[in-house]
Structure 1
Amino acid sequence: MAELQDIGAFVAVARHGGFREAARQTDSSASQLSAAVRRLEAQLGVRLLNRTTRSVAATDAGQRLLEQLSPALDAVESALDVVNGFRERPAGRLRLNVPLSAARLVLPRVLPPFMAAYPEIVLEITVDDSFVDLLRSGCDAGIRYEERMEQDMVAIPIGPRMQRFALAASPAYLQQHGWPHKPQDLLQHTCLRGRFGSGAMPPWEFEHKGRKVVIEPQGPLIVSLGAGADLMVDAALAGSGLVYLFEDWLRPYMARGELEPVLERWWPSFTGPFLYYPGRRYLPAPLRAFVDFIPGLRW
């Protein structure tokens, strides 16, 4: 029977897509993980991982083994974590996968009081705006908006329950180009746009008194949504065009007069984000502490 440690090394490398990232996640070394995977492959007599200088990916045999092993290893981890309940305070590592908007607008209100209440829990935050398979990524939980969550997950509200998208421009831009009076006017303006990692470029949506308007604006700048959002805001501050983003993101600039709200009565509302995680009978103690902590916060 293969050593459980070698099996765990294979699962970590396969889930994280490489030895370096798996080593970082498991507090091990890439060379130790590589040796463990080689031992497992030698014992099984089959290659489990295809390795190149740039990437590591599971073979068909490795993928099938990973699918069979993951539920069993998760059950072992949950069983061992039950012991954590006998501690005075939960300890361990909590891995969260969140979009940039949550990292910027939600977690600053959550993490400081949580870390003060649970100093023995280590939080590891991965900022990622793409669709995420939590189990394959090795994360305990994620934060996403309703339409971008994985299916068959437990979800609880986190952060403000209603948010809005806002449209804004610098005073200099509006003085030079004039104010839009209705969403259709944006087709005659310079707009700063974002693109998802999938390549999709979301339209700008507006709503007023039950009437919805969808605009496909044009402009000289397209950035990746998430990582490039600050660049889009900087361009708007410099007078390069109109920016359409979370109201909470733009509100500080509007409060200082650096940006002016545009078409505010047309700003659309949407449901706030959710913390989501796999439905397990036993949650890891750090995640259980986090789940229980969230309802006590006020937004």
Structure 2
Amino acid sequence: MDRTLRAALLKLHGQAALPVSQFTVAQRSALDRFARQTGAVTCQRQGRGDVYRVSDPQLFEVHLSALSPKVEMQTTHDLPVRAQHIAHARDSKAGSHQHDCYYPLLKAVGDQVLWRQGTDATELPLSKLTRDFGATSLQIEADDAWQTGQPLWLVENQALFDRTDWLPAGTQATLLYYGGQLDGRLLAWLARHPRASCVVHFPDYDGVGLANFARLYMLLGEGCVFWLMPGWQGKLARYGSQRLWQDTFAEFSRAVSQLPDDLAALTRYMRQSGLALEQEAVWLPA
């Protein structure tokens, strides 16, 4: 209710009057209740319609300040978005609160993995940083120009990021750990420019993993591939989880029609067996 009333009062703030049609049904309900309780706002007939008008400006400002302590900041863009939300609503999550930048966790597999920032000679020597520190991070934004000449592998679970002996022999690539859900900022970054020679996605073989790949595939098309571990069918039969299948079936159902044809065998077997498989099974015998 506070959010709805705050939005309505902010619309009315600084206006002589506003037509009722300028407000949503929920905002009108909140304003009518506010008018009855405080008398700071009235609804009056004007011409062929009704308008809301501030009838007690001082009382109106008291209530608005309680809901939105810094009204004049609503057009200020030089502060972090969460700070603006606190100023408007005393709550950093009052509106869209995702940060502009994203900091993925990266590590190199191989000795010559390097990222470059366009043509300005800025380099991230990922192989060296991985040897020295184990992993590193990089601030990415959709409009930047970071790219690498090797493949970029996206892995869902930390075990596969920590230990890389599951990868095909001779792999020279970047591993990016994303932890469960592909972040929208990462997807936007991947979609804006080609970032790697290929984007390889290795998630859990469940509804969430397939839904994430569907989102990626819709943006990159043939620029990304879904990695099927060797012996995946035997592992799915031997180690697959019925509970994981059931828990993520809704996501599976929504995603399956958006997947490329080369995943038909996997999705068909998952549906027939009623099983899903976590990616750590890559270390287990089929």
**TM-score, length basis structure 2:** 0.29
**Is the strand fraction higher in 1 or 2?**
1
**With CA pairs under 8 Å and 6+ residues apart, which has the higher RCO, 1 or 2?**
1
**TM-score, length basis structure 1:** 0.28
